[in-house]
Structures are given as C-alpha cells and as structure tokens.
Amino acid sequence: MQQFRDTASSKSATFRLSAALLMSLAAVGGASAATLSVGPGKTYAAPCAAFAKAKAGDVVEIDGSKTYSGDVCAISPSKLTIRGVNGRPKIDAAGKNAQGKAIWVVKGNDITVENVEMFGAKVPDKNGAALRLEGTNFTLRSSYLHGNENGILSGANINSNVVIEYSEFGRNGAGDGYSHNLYIGNVGSLVFRYNYSHDAWVGHNLKSRARVNTISYNRFSSTPSGSLNAGTPSYEIDLPNAGTAYVIGNVIHQPAVHNNPGMLAYGMEGATNPGKDLYVVNNTFLNDDSSRGTFVLVGSKVTTPALLQNNIFSGTGTVTSQGSAIQKSNYRSVAAGFVNRALFDLHPIANALVINAGTAPGKSAAGVSLASTAQYKHTAAGESRPVSGALDIGAYEASGPTSTPSTPAPAPAPAPAPGTPETWKQCATEGYTCSFTGTREVRFGVSGAYSTKVVTAKTACTTKVFGDPKKGASKTCSYSSLAR
C-alpha cells in the first residue's frame, strides 16, 4: 500500500493520518476507561467505593499495604479488571456479607480479579463465598481464598466461561459437606490450571458442574491429620454431571483421614451434561489411606469408556470403578519411587520404571491434544515439562538426564477410539514368561494393584521388569486385548 512506501510524501501523509487516529483514540479512551485507585491516601478508601463508581472497561487497583475489613458489596459494572498492587491486599469479611451471599457478589460480565486475598465469608445458609459469580465470563488469577464457607460459588449459566489460574484455595467449607474450596455450577466451561487447592473442610477441593472441564497442572492435597489447619476433604475433584473433562498433569493426593475414599469422581450425580468423555492423562495420584480408596470413580450412567493413560497410582486402592475404562501405560505401586515423597518432590528417582515408559496420548474425540506440556510448580505456579527421551509416566519428568535405550522403542499406535472395549487375558504367573502377538500393554500384579508396560511379543513376568506393586503377594501377568 502506498502509505508504507519509503518516500517523503508518503511519510508526511502517514504522519498526518496517524496523528489524527491517535487524537481520536485518545478522546475515545479518555471517555471510556479509567484507573481507579484504592487504599491509604488514594481516591477511594476501600474497594467497594471504587466498584460503585466504576464504568465498563475500567481498572480498579487496590493497594496491598492494608487489610480491608467488612468491605462487602456487589460488583455490577461489566468488563472490569480488579487487581492488587504493591503487594496482595487482604479482604476480610469481618462478620459481614453482601446480599446474604458473599464478600463480593460478581454480577457484571467479563470480570477479571487478580492478586487478592479473601477470607472470612460466612452467611446464615452456610454457603457464604469469597466470590459469588452471577455474571457471564469470569477470570481469577494469582489470588488466595481461604477460611470461607466457599472459596468460589457460581450459579448456572451455560453461556459463561470461567478461568481460574495461579491461585490457592485452602480450608474453605462449612463442615457440612455441601460447601467446598470452590464450587462451579453448570457453566459452559471451566479452565482450572496451575492452582493449589488443599485442605477443604469436609467438602471437595474442587467441584464443577461445567459442561467442559480442563483441569491441568494443579496440586490437590491436604495436610496430615493432627497438623495445624489440616483438612478432611471428600473428593479431591468432583465432576458430578460428567461432561467432557480433561484431567492432565495434576498431583491428586488423598490424606489418610478424609470423608470419602474416592479421589477423582465423575458422573456420580447423573451424567446430565452433553459430553460423557473423561481423559485422565499423566497425573500422579497419591493415596495415604492404607485400607481403601478408588483413584477414578465413574458413575454407572457413564457409558463411554474413560481414558486413563500415563498415570501413576501410588498407594492402596482400586484404579477405577469403570470396568470398560481404557487403561494404557499406567504405573501402579503401593510406594512409587519419588525423589522426596514427604516434601511432594514427585520427580521420578534415577532408574525408576516410569522413566521413558509413557506412550503418546494422541487427541480427544473432539481433536484436542492430550499431551502433557507443563508441570505444576509449588506454590500455585507452573513450568514447562522437559523433553528428555521418551515421555515419563506421571505428572513430572525426571529431573536429570536419563539413559537412552540401546534400541529405539516402537512408535506407539494411536489411542483406541472411545467405546472400544478392553479385556485382559492372563498369560503367566510370577517368574514365568508372558507371550502374545504384536505390541500390547502388559500388567503385573494382583487385586487391583498393578504396574504396566507396553512391550512386543513377550516379557518376563518378574519384579525386575515391572517393579513390585504389592509386596508379599503372589502376582500374575495379563495382556490387553487391544494392540498398541
């Protein structure tokens, strides 16, 4: 186009046009957007006063040097960005609530809240929330919600998309099992990533009725019983109405003392959402209850087989309640080899059987990549997942360099289409050789405690090859009916 030619006349014309555009944009911007400052010596003494004056598109900046006690209200304007600056401001309910619901009742659409700490929400109905979501579309980022009856409680709105990232939720719940660290209603979608949700008081660490859930690179855990502020959660993740769910790259921990032995629950209140497909890929599950547990609990109304691939299931319990679930390249062990289990350094130790043992997960039925490309980093952060050799099983790649096999492993075949039934055929008892045709997944163990590997033609059925998923028990090998 002529105005971009490098000539004096075109430069002059371009300058005049640019100047006119800038003046026009400045006039529009000045009329439609503003930054409202909150805090000591600022225009507004407390956040709610600023919300009452804000217009669509404004930014409300809250100074982090003080605690704002009893400042509760509804947020009505849309397209606001609310953020803490100069530290993280503390918003204390201090015995008050807005509309009998929350500290902040978010009525506007397209609201973003960043870098705030909120606590103390209580109401007579025992479902007081730090944030009550009643608008369409909401984002929470880099915040800390604790000590409320609900951290977040949202209404039903299938046109709404909720994004929660880089945030911490702790010790929320009224102790009645109906209130949770966060409870997302029947919205269009939830993206929950790089968060730390822990120690829910009787309720769940995450409950979502969203139609599509993307839950990736988070840590769900609880403090040991007897510790200060230890929680007693029910499910770590509860997706009661099914839907399409991507659970990828998470640390999912159940404490020894809890209120439900299930860890990830899917469709347990009826599979009423349109989707019925669950993808559980490259997670590390930890069960501290030595007597019981179900890692992936699937409701009887869910007929689509869940995909469980590249997961570590560490501790006692049943992998899944769904008999038709597709299980690929998972590692099952009472005590998997981690760098420091007590401190949640869950990178594999050197020479761990999970190293280079994963298989490519492919894509979902909708064409969404199931690859784990990041890792949770404490606290409420993330990092890129290293690429070193073949994919490791679990939520973390090994920290250091790993050995390279002398012969390349065969390329994994695509995941079977959802709905393909998988059965297991016993092929050997411990100490003998398991033989079959082609490349298949072989599992070694007994009574729900298994470790698995993908191999070709045959394998020794020994602890040297598979590790020991259940010490002291007589184990067998079985191979999958599905070729890999």
Question: Alpha carbon of 250 to those of 221, 236, 343, 377: distances in Å?
Answer: 11, 11, 16, 11
3-state SS, residue 215:
strand
**Helix, strand, coil % (nearest 5) of the chain?**
10, 40, 50
With cut-offs at 50, 70 and 90, classify the pLDDT of residue 26: very low
With cut-offs at 50, 70 and 90, classify the pLDDT of residue 31: low
With cut-offs at 50, 70 and 90, classify the pLDDT of residue 422: low
Question: Alpha carbon of 368 to those of 163, 306, 364, 365, 372: distances in Å?
Answer: 18, 15, 5, 7, 12
Q: What is the pLDDT of residue 259?
A: 83
β pairing state of 207-208 and 182-184: parallel
With cut-offs at 50, 70 and 90, classify the pLDDT of residue 345: very high
Residue 471 has pLDDT above 90, yes or no: no
| Total residues found in the chain within this entry | 484
Q: What is the pLDDT of residue 338?
A: 96
With cut-offs at 50, 70 and 90, classify the pLDDT of residue 24: very low
Q: What is the pLDDT of residue 388?
A: 85
- For the residues 197-203, what does the mean pLDDT come to? 95
CB atoms within 10 A of CB 301: 14
Place of tokens 């217009």: 55
CA angle 203, 267, 254 (to 5 degrees): 40
DSSP class of residue 112? E
CB distance 195 to 215 below 8 Å? no
Q: What is the pLDDT of residue 334?
A: 85
Strands (E) across 334-377 are located at 338-340, 345-348, 374-377
Which carries the bigger pLDDT value, residue 187 or residue 454? 187
Residue 21 has pLDDT above 60, yes or no: no
pLDDT digits (tens, 9 = 90+) for 289-340: 988 899 999 999 999 999 999 999 999 999 999 999 999 999 999 888 999 9
Which carries the bigger pLDDT value, residue 388 or residue 206? 206
Place of tokens 């761990």: 352
Q: By C-alpha distance, which of 41, 47, 129 is closest to 80?
A: 47
- Report the share of the chain in percent with pLDDT over 90: 71
Q: By C-alpha distance, which of 273, 206, 276 is closest to 241?
A: 273
- For the residues 45-51, what does the mean pLDDT come to? 99
Burial of 421 (0-12, 13-18, 19+ CB in 10 A): exposed
Burial of 213 (0-12, 13-18, 19+ CB in 10 A): buried
Rounded mean pLDDT of the chain?
88
Place of tokens 């909708």: 366
Q: What is the pLDDT of residue 449?
A: 64
Q: Report d(CA 192, CA 155) in Å as an integer.
A: 17
Look up the pTM and report it.
0.79
DSSP class of residue 74? E
Q: Report d(CA 148, CA 170) in Å as an integer.
A: 9
Range scoring the smallest mean pLDDT among 80-84, 100-104, 211-215, 259-263: 259-263
Residue 178 has pLDDT above 80, yes or no: yes
Q: What is the pLDDT of residue 23?
A: 40
- For the residues 164-173, what does the mean pLDDT come to? 98
Q: What is the pLDDT of residue 43?
A: 98
Output the DSSP codes for 126-180: S--EEEEE-SS-EEEES-EEESSSEEEEE--EEEEEEEEES-EEES---SSSS--
CA max distance for the chain: 88
Which carries the bigger pLDDT value, residue 428 or residue 419? 428
Q: Report d(CA 285, CA 475) in Å as an integer.
A: 22
Q: Report d(CA 253, CA 344) in Å as an integer.
A: 10
pLDDT digits (tens, 9 = 90+) for 67-125: 999 999 999 999 999 999 999 999 999 999 999 999 999 999 999 999 999 999 999 99
For 165, the token pair is 């990232």
3-state SS, residue 349:
coil
Q: Report d(CA 212, CA 184) in Å as an integer.
A: 12
Which carries the bigger pLDDT value, residue 30 or residue 277? 277
Q: Report d(CA 470, CA 314) in Å as an integer.
A: 11
- For the residues 152-165, what does the mean pLDDT come to? 98
Q: By C-alpha distance, which of 218, 214, 268 is closest to 242?
A: 268
Question: Alpha carbon of 151 to those of 27, 131, 183, 253: distances in Å?
Answer: 40, 7, 8, 20
With cut-offs at 50, 70 and 90, classify the pLDDT of residue 223: confident
Which carries the bigger pLDDT value, residue 65 or residue 227? 65
Residue 394 has pLDDT above 70, yes or no: yes
- For the residues 24-38, what does the mean pLDDT come to? 67
CB distance 133 to 112 below 8 Å? no
Q: What is the pLDDT of residue 448?
A: 59
CB distance 348 to 355 below 8 Å? yes
**Chain CA centroid to CA 135, Å:** 23
**Beta pairing partners, 214:** 191, 246
Q: What is the pLDDT of residue 445?
A: 80
Range scoring the smallest mean pLDDT among 92-96, 280-284, 341-345, 469-473: 469-473
CB distance 455 to 428 below 8 Å? no
Residue environment code for 380-411, b if the CB has 16+ CB neighbours within 10 A, otherwise e:
bebeebeebbbbbbbbbbbeeebeeeeeeeee
